Amino acid sequence: MDVLEKIVAAKRKEIEPFKAMSPIERFEREGFFWEIGNRSLVQSLLMPGSTGIIAEFKRKSPSKGWFKIKELEVEPVVTAYNKSAAGISVLTDEEFFGGDLDDLIQTKVVTDIPVLRKDFIVDKWQIAESKAFGADVILLIAASLTPAQVKEFSGYAKSIGLESILEVHNEEELGHYCDEVSMVGINNRNLKTFEVNINTSLQLIDKIPAGKPAIAESGISSAEAIVTLRNAGFKGFLIGENFMKEEQPGQAFEEFVNKLKQ
């Protein structure tokens, strides 16, 4: 099994007991965040003057290990992101990325920009859970889903007020695209090998269906890279490791934005 297959298999096993304890109908009835209007990442990315940056909070990765200790407080980091980012991505997978749903809740409470729940969605139940815990946007990874699942999951997300990003790694996975998807993300990191190549985004941008904002993900470490990607047609730029590996992620983000403005 490759890394992605291991993560997906673990995720299916992880959620089963929780599905029994909290059926999807419960999430559809309850949850404080059902009472809060959805924050649109699409609108935020298309807003004039937007940095387009989706700044990510994640504690570790399978390939690099821990960036920050589990006890790192979310608030100082995401409040710094909130000043100039178009959105905030929160890694909620615990086993492989050290996150949890509390990170998502805390982010939603202290910010006013769209919040993406970054996890491995393999079941419709997780989408209702995402809404109940504060997400505005979910990620659907083409490499771990069938085209039929992408259509079902993105349609359900839309019906409960969530936006969705279809994440692809190659041209073949663009076959998972459907109208219900809100945005298309191109991950420069191959989730099977974890190799990173920013040219993946540049090679696929012209093949993304018109009318959906395109987001470049992973491997973005300079303002110059954003300029190149923006000129190619990208509206969003998901950056996490570049900030989280620094001693002060929030400060690193602010310095990055200042360079971008210059």
> Which residues are part of the catalytic machinery?
56, 58, 118, 167, 187, 217-218
Do 98 and 125 touch, CB atoms closer than 8 A? no
Give which of 135, 201, 148, 204 is closest to 177, Cα–Cα.
148
Burial of 168 (0-12, 13-18, 19+ CB in 10 A): buried
What distances in angstroms separate CA 99 from CA 56, 64, 65, 74, 233, one per listed residue? 12, 15, 13, 11, 32
Could you please report the per-residue DSSP string of 2-21?
-HHHHHHHHHHHHHHHHHHH
Beta strands in 159-260 (DSSP E): 163-168, 183-187, 214-217, 236-239
10 Å Cβ neighbour count for 222?
Answer: 12
CA dist., res. 239 & res. 14, Å (int): 27
Indicate the helix (H) or strand (E) that contains 141: strand 137-141
Indicate the helix (H) or strand (E) that contains 101: helix 101-110
